[in-house]
Amino acid sequence: MSALILIVEDEAPQIEMLRYNLEREGFTVVVATDGDAALEAVSLHNPDLAIIDWMLPEQSGIEICRHIRADSETQRLPIIMLTARGEESDRVLGLDSGADDYVVKPYSPREMVARVHALLRRTRPENDEGQIVFEDILLDIISHRVTRGDKRIQLGPTEYRILKVLMEKPGRVYSRERLLDRVWGAEIHVEDRTVDVHIGRLRKALKADGGSDLIRTVRGAGYSIDTQESQG
């Protein structure tokens, strides 16, 4: 499945150049032209990476970046800041606001695509031929088999889907509402408490043979899958 890239830019020529080069590389692209639309797109589309222009109407790219980093559900989103400001102090400000990379206009489209690939490699879980790996857990998307170490983990279909969502973006905190939307679908009404029940079953299955508890509960925010070191 291709990565979804969010472009936050208000200049049409820049949008079209980025869209053309990213789609040619096989990426799926969504576009927002201002801060409110950008934050809505992050929530709605759950992108794998965002390219955000510094100079935008109403909210700057710096402000958008800070909003994303302040939200537990989106704080792990990889961000490339795009700007005409090339001074060292500007670069420092962009990176301090939470950007992972900083590209100065004018830039080479090939370089931008290379930076997108590089950042995704650093931030996405290993995914080879339909498999997602996190720590000692391997989830096979094709066969729906889950193993931990050399032991198969028996999961119900709902627990499997929850684990898949969590493993796709380790460290990202998903609220109950977001998990309901991703696992059951927005059109189906399910009580929030149902998520807690299935998380409990998933935890029990993953710990059945003495494995560590990698499911993290963030009080008032939701759930994530994380390393023991990160939880500590």
pTM of the model: 0.60
What total of structural domains would you count in the chain?
Answer: 2
> Quick check: 62 and 97 in contact, CB under 8 A?
yes
pLDDT single digits (tens) 147-191: 998 899 988 888 998 999 999 888 889 988 888 888 877 656 667
Same domain membership, residue 114 and residue 133: no
Burial classification of residue 146, based on how many CB atoms lie within 10 Å of its CB (0-12 exposed, 13-18 middle, 19 or more buried): buried
How many Cβ atoms sit within 10 Å of the Cβ of residue 43?
12
Domain endpoint, select from 74, 102, 123 = 123
Using alpha carbons, select from 154, 171, 186, 181 the residue that is nearest to residue 223: 171
* pLDDT score recorded for residue 177: 86
Q: How far apart are CA 37 and CA 195, in angstroms?
A: 29
Same domain membership, residue 113 and residue 8: yes
Q: 97 pLDDT exceeds 70?
A: yes
- As given in the structure block, the two tokens for residue 12 are 């049409």
